[in-house]
A and B are shown apart, each in its own frame.
Chain A
Amino acid sequence: MQVTAKNSADMRLGSLEELEKLRSELLAAEDPDQTKIIVCHGTGCVANDSPSVTKALKAALAAAGEDIKVMPGIKTTGCHGFCSRGPLVIIKPSNIFYQQVKPGDVEEIVQKTILTGETVDRLLYVHPQTGETLKTTEEIPFYSGQERVVLSNIGQIDPTDIEDAFKAGAYAGMAKALTNMEPGQVIEEVTKSGLRGRGGAGFPTGLKWSLAAKHQGGQKYVLCNADEGDPGAFMDRSVMEGDPHAVVEGMIIGGYAIGADTGYVYVRAEYPLAIKHLVKALDDARAHGLLGENILGSGFNFDIRINRGAGAFVCGEETALMRSVEGKVGEPVPRPPYPSDKGLFGKPSVLNNVETWANVSRILDKGADWFASLGTEKSKGTKVFALVGKVNNVGLVEVPMGISLRNIVMEIGGGVPGSDHFKAVQTGGPSGGCLPWEDADLPVDFDSLIAAGSMMGSGGMIVMDERDCMVDVAKYFLGFLEEESCGKCFPCRLGVPRLRETLNRFSKGQGTLEDIDDLYSLAEAIKAGSLCALGGTAPNAVLSTLRYFRGEYEAHILEHRCPAGVCKDLITYSIDPEVCTGCRACSRACPQGAITGEKKKPHTIEESLCIRCGMCMESCKFGAIQVI
C-alpha cells in the first residue's frame, strides 16, 4: 500500500522521530488477520514465469471474491534463494512453502489453503533424503541451516515499496547514525564490528573508511561495487533486486562517516531488474527526504547516482571501476596512491561492494557487538554464497563465517546429485581455486580459504562432481581471464594466454611433465609481477587444481586420457546397443551425418566423422549415448 502523495514535500521525513512515527503507523495499519501470499519475483523465478503465477492468483482471488472473509494481500518480492525450486509461493503468516508453482496450481491454492486452511501437499517440498513432506520454510534444511542477516528482508518485503521496507526496519540504522552519532563514532562502530569487505580481499571496512576520513574537508566520494562479474555469483544481484534500500542506507551511512556528499553505484548492465529496483529505491528515498539535502534534519547532504557497467570484468577492480565511472577505459592504475587518498576524480574515495554496504546498515541498526558475535575471531558476521553447479539445492544461502564446506554443500545444499560427495568446490570466482573433498571440513572464512589456495571472493561456490574435469575447469577460468584482461600490464596480457595454451595442449593429451614445472614458474611470475589483482590471482585456478588434482593432469599428459570424460580430443562417443531403440533422434540431430543404422535397430557412430558436439547425447531420450 503505497502512499501516493502528488507533492513529494508531503512525504519528507524531517527527523529520526518522524521516521519512527511513520514506521509505527504503517505497522499499526496492518491487519493481523490478513493472509499474505508472497510470490518470488527474483530473476530466477521470473525466468520460470512467476509473473504468470501472480496474475493467475489475482484472478483466482477475485473470482473467489465473496467466499473470502479477509481478502489476502499479494506481495511480490525479491529472490528467496531457493532458485532451483522456483517459482516459489509462500503463504504468510503460517509460512507454508509451495514450490515449482504453475499458473494451473493457483486455483487449488486459493480453494484449499486460502479458503479452508489446508495445504496442497503436491506443491510442498519433499526432503530428498528422508522423503518427508515439509510444510513450512522453517522445516526445510535449505533455510533452517542459514543465518540471514544481509538477506533478512529479501523475500519478505516488496522491494519496490519503500513503506514495506520501513515496516521491516529500513533506514533505522542510518537515522541513528545521522542523529545520535558523530562521523568518527560511526567509523568506530564499523571497526568494532570487525566487518571485512565482502567483495573479495576481505580488507577491514572500518580501517578503509578511516583512511579516507582523515582527509579533512573537501570533495570525497563513496562508491558501491555492484559489478558482480564472477561467473557463478549472483549474491549482489539478489540483494539489489530484493532489498535495494539496504544498499542505499549503507552508502548514506558511509558517506556521513567519511564526509562524502555523493555516492556512485556501479552496477552490471546484465542486471536490468536490479537497476530498475535501485532507481525506484533512490527515487522513493529522495521523496522521503532520506537522500538529498539536510537528511532527517541532520544537516548532512548526500545523494547517489547509478553508473551502468559496459561489459568489462576488470571494472570490478577498484581503480578500474573508478576510471570507468570517469568515462574512461577501465584499466587499473598502480597503487599507491590508494583510492582513500586519490580515488574517483582524484579525490579521496571509499569503495565497498553491495553486500558490505548492506551489512553496514545492519551493524548500525543492531550494534557492533551483535555483529561481532557472529562468525569467527577474524572473520565476523555472515557471508552470502551463490551455491551452484552439481548440487541439489542451487540457490543463494547466507551462513555464519566459519561453518564448514561440508555443511554448506551437503546439508544446506542438499548434497550432490547421484553422489555422496563432491569432487571439488570452486570458490572465489576466476581469482579463486578448487578445493577437494578432503577439505570438506575446512571452515569457510577469509583466512582458511587463502591458506588452502583459494579465496572467499565475492561468494560464488561452484560444486563439481566426478564428471567435471579439473584441467578443463582451469582452462575455462584462464580463457575467461584472457578475454577479460585489460591488456595493460605485460605479465597478465602475455602470461595468461600462455598458461591457457599450455592447458590447451594438456587437454589434447599433449605436453610433458616439464611443462608442469614451467607452468608453476610462469604462474609465480604472473602472480608476483602483475599490476592488479586480476593478473595477480589469475594463476590460482591452475595452481589449486595442480595442488589437489595433479593425478588428473598426469592422466591427460601421460595416458592421453580425460578421466572425467570432458576434454573433446580425448573422448569418443558411442551408442549402447542394449539401450538404443533405433528411434533415429540422434541421427537426425547429428550435424555430420556420422550416425547410421536401420530404423528400430541399434545405431552406430562413425568415429572419423564425429566432431564431439554432443548433439546426439542431448537428443537421446533413452540415455543410450556414452562417452568414454
Chain B
Amino acid sequence: MLSLTIDGKKVEAEAGWSLLDTARQHGIDIPTLCYHEAVEPFGACRLCVVELKQGNNSRLVASCVYPAEEGLEVFTSSEKVNSVRRWILEMLLSECPASREIREMAGQYGVNTTRFEVKDPEEQCILCGLCVRACAQVVGANAISTVGRGAQKEIGSPYLVPGEDCVACGTCVTVCPTGAMGARFERVRGVPSVIMARPGK
C-alpha cells in the first residue's frame, strides 16, 4: 500500500491506482468529462486536474492518468485547480452551449455565462473522444474516429457518411457525457439494410 495525502487527509492507495481512483475510493469527488471506467484513461478534458505540491514547487496533473505515489501531497480544489476548471467550463459554454450537463457543471463552479462568442447554439459535442474509444476498445468496431485536428476537429465516420463498420450497438450514445452522440448517431450508423438483417433486431 502507498500512503499519500489528498486535501490534507491521509489516504492509502494500491500500486497501479491513479490519483482519481484513489480519491474516489476515499469519497473525494473530482469532476471528469473524458473519463469512463470502461475505457483507457485519456487525459484530455483536464477537468480532473489536481495540484501536486513538492516543497515550494507545485504543478497540475490530470488525476485520471497520474499514478498514486508514496508521499504525494495532492490538492483537488485549490485556487489554481479551480481556475483551470472555470476557464475550461466557460469556454465549453460557448463551444457547446446546448449541453445541459455542461451548463450544470459550470454552474457548480459559479460559471453561468460566457464571455466568448457562441458559434453554434445547437452544439453539444465537447470532443472528449469517449465515443471513439468505446467503439474501438469496448465494441471493437472502430466505426468512428476524430477527423481533422485542432479547432477543426470533429467526431465522425470515414468521409463523414454512414459507414459499414458501425454495428448500431449504441455504445457511443451511452458513454457520451453530453448527449451529443445521440443527436449525430444517424450520421455514423450503418445502412439500415445491414441493421435490419441482424438477428434479434
**Contacts from A to B (Cβ < 8 Å):** 312, 329, 333-334, 336, 482-491, 493-495, 497-498, 501, 518, 521-522, 524-526, 528-531
Q: Which residues of A contact B67 (CB under 8 A)?
A: 336
Q: Known: A334-B43, A493-B127. Contact between A529 and B88, CB under 8 A?
A: yes
Assess the B151–A482 pair: CB atoms within 8 A: yes
CA A215 to CA B147, docked complex, whole Å: 37
Question: Distance (Å) between the CB of B22 and the closest chain A CB?
Answer: 15
Assess the A494–B88 pair: CB atoms within 8 A: yes
Q: Tell me which of B44, B80, B117, B152 contacts A490 (CB under 8 A).
A: B44
Chain B 18-54 residues near chain A, CB threshold 8 A: 42-47, 49
Residue B92 at the chain A interface, CB threshold 8 Å: yes
Q: Tell me which of A334, A488, A494 contacts B92 (CB under 8 A).
A: A494
Question: Distance (Å) between the CB of A156 and the closest chain B CB?
Answer: 42
Known pairs A493-B127, A522-B87 / 18 extra A-B pairs, C-beta < 8 Å: A329-B146, A336-B66, A336-B67, A485-B149, A485-B150, A487-B151, A489-B46, A490-B91, A491-B46, A491-B84, A497-B151, A518-B115, A521-B87, A525-B86, A525-B87, A525-B88, A531-B43, A531-B62
Fill in one digit per residue for B61-85: 1 if any A CB lies within 8 Å of its CB, else 0: 0100111000000000000100110
Q: Which residues of B contact A525 (CB under 8 A)?
A: 83-84, 86-88
CA A491 to CA B43, docked complex, whole Å: 12
Residue B109 at the chain A interface, CB threshold 8 Å: no
* Chain A, Cβ-Cβ closest to B145: A329
Q: Which residues of A contact B45 (CB under 8 A)?
A: 489-490
Question: Distance (Å) between the CB of A326 and the closest chain B CB?
Answer: 15
Q: Which residues of B contact A495 (CB under 8 A)?
A: 87, 91
Residue B98 at the chain A interface, CB threshold 8 Å: no
How many residues of B are counted as interface, with CB atoms below 8 angstroms from the partner's CB atoms? Answer: 35
A selection of 23 A-B contacts at a CB cut-off of 8 Å is A334-B62, A334-B65, A482-B151, A487-B148, A487-B150, A489-B45, A490-B127, A493-B150, A493-B151, A493-B153, A494-B88, A494-B91, A498-B116, A521-B87, A525-B84, A528-B59, A528-B80, A528-B83, A528-B84, A529-B49, A529-B88, A530-B46, A531-B62
Q: Which residues of B contact A518 (CB under 8 A)?
A: 115
CA A494 to CA B44, docked complex, whole Å: 12
Q: Which residues of B contact A491 (CB under 8 A)?
A: 46, 84, 87-88
Q: Which residues of A contact B95 (CB under 8 A)?
A: 494
**Contacts from B to A (Cβ < 8 Å):** 42-47, 49, 59-60, 62, 65-67, 80, 83-84, 86-88, 91-92, 95, 115-117, 126-127, 129, 146, 148-153
CA A497 to CA B119, docked complex, whole Å: 13
Q: Which of B65, B87, B116, B117 has the most CB of A within 10 A?
A: B87
Question: Distance (Å) between the CB of A503 and the closest chain B CB?
Answer: 14
Question: Distance (Å) between the CB of B97 and the closest chain A CB?
Answer: 13
Assess the B46–A490 pair: CB atoms within 8 A: yes
Q: Known: A528-B59, A528-B80, A529-B49. Contact between A486 and B149, CB under 8 A?
A: yes
Question: Distance (Å) between the CB of B21 and the closest chain A CB?
Answer: 15
Q: Known: A329-B146, A525-B87. Contact between A488 and B44, CB under 8 A?
A: yes
CA A490 to CA B87, docked complex, whole Å: 10
Q: Which residues of A contact B153 (CB under 8 A)?
A: 487, 493
Question: Distance (Å) between the CB of A430 and the closest chain B CB?
Answer: 13
Q: Which residues of B contact A490 (CB under 8 A)?
A: 44-47, 88, 91-92, 126-127
Q: Which residues of B contact A484 (CB under 8 A)?
A: 150
Question: Distance (Å) between the CB of A443 and the closest chain B CB?
Answer: 24
Assess the A487–B43 pair: CB atoms within 8 A: no
Assess the A487–B149 pair: CB atoms within 8 A: yes
Question: Distance (Å) between the CB of A310 and the closest chain B CB?
Answer: 12
Q: Which residues of B contact A521 (CB under 8 A)?
A: 83, 87
Q: Which residues of A contact B149 (CB under 8 A)?
A: 312, 329, 485-487
Q: Which residues of B contact A487 (CB under 8 A)?
A: 127, 146, 148-153
* Chain B, Cβ-Cβ closest to A524: B83
Question: Distance (Å) between the CB of A403 and the closest chain B CB?
Answer: 30
Q: Known: A528-B60, A531-B62. Contact between A489 and B151, CB under 8 A?
A: no
* Chain B, Cβ-Cβ closest to A489: B44
Assess the B60–A529 pair: CB atoms within 8 A: yes
Assess the B43–A333 pair: CB atoms within 8 A: yes
For the complex of A and B, list the 4 residue pairs with the smallest distance between their C-beta atoms, beginning with the closest: A487-B153, A334-B43, A529-B84, A494-B91
Assess the B46–A529 pair: CB atoms within 8 A: yes
* Chain A, Cβ-Cβ closest to B80: A528
Question: Distance (Å) between the CB of A426 and the closest chain B CB?
Answer: 22
Q: Which residues of A contact B127 (CB under 8 A)?
A: 487, 490, 493
CA A65 to CA B23, docked complex, whole Å: 84
Q: Which residues of A contact B86 (CB under 8 A)?
A: 525
Q: Which residues of A contact B87 (CB under 8 A)?
A: 491, 495, 521-522, 525-526, 529
Assess the B91–A498 pair: CB atoms within 8 A: yes
Question: Distance (Å) between the CB of A527 and the closest chain B CB?
Answer: 9
CA A75 to CA B34, docked complex, whole Å: 58
CA A485 to CA B49, docked complex, whole Å: 20
* Chain A, Cβ-Cβ closest to B41: A334
CA A482 to CA B151, docked complex, whole Å: 7
Q: Which residues of B contact A485 (CB under 8 A)?
A: 149-151
CA A482 to CA B149, docked complex, whole Å: 10
Question: Distance (Å) between the CB of A508 and the closest chain B CB?
Answer: 14
CA A402 to CA B85, docked complex, whole Å: 40
CA A529 to CA B63, docked complex, whole Å: 12
CA A491 to CA B46, docked complex, whole Å: 7
Question: Distance (Å) between the CB of B110 and the closest chain A CB?
Answer: 14
CA A411 to CA B89, docked complex, whole Å: 50
CA A531 to CA B48, docked complex, whole Å: 12
Q: Which residues of A contact B43 (CB under 8 A)?
A: 333-334, 489, 531
* Chain B, Cβ-Cβ closest to A523: B87
* Chain B, Cβ-Cβ closest to A515: B115
Q: Which residues of A contact B83 (CB under 8 A)?
A: 521, 524-525, 528
Question: Distance (Å) between the CB of B31 and the closest chain A CB?
Answer: 12
Assess the A531–B46 pair: CB atoms within 8 A: yes
Question: Distance (Å) between the CB of A257 and the closest chain B CB?
Answer: 28
CA A484 to CA B92, docked complex, whole Å: 20
Assess the B49–A482 pair: CB atoms within 8 A: no
Q: Which residues of A contact B80 (CB under 8 A)?
A: 528
Q: Which residues of A contact B60 (CB under 8 A)?
A: 528-529
* Chain A, Cβ-Cβ closest to B153: A487
CA A628 to CA B49, docked complex, whole Å: 48
Q: Which residues of A contact B150 (CB under 8 A)?
A: 482-487, 493
Question: Distance (Å) between the CB of B182 and the closest chain A CB?
Answer: 21
CA A491 to CA B87, docked complex, whole Å: 8
Question: Distance (Å) between the CB of B102 and the closest chain A CB?
Answer: 11
Q: Which residues of A contact B66 (CB under 8 A)?
A: 334, 336
Question: Distance (Å) between the CB of B99 and the closest chain A CB?
Answer: 14
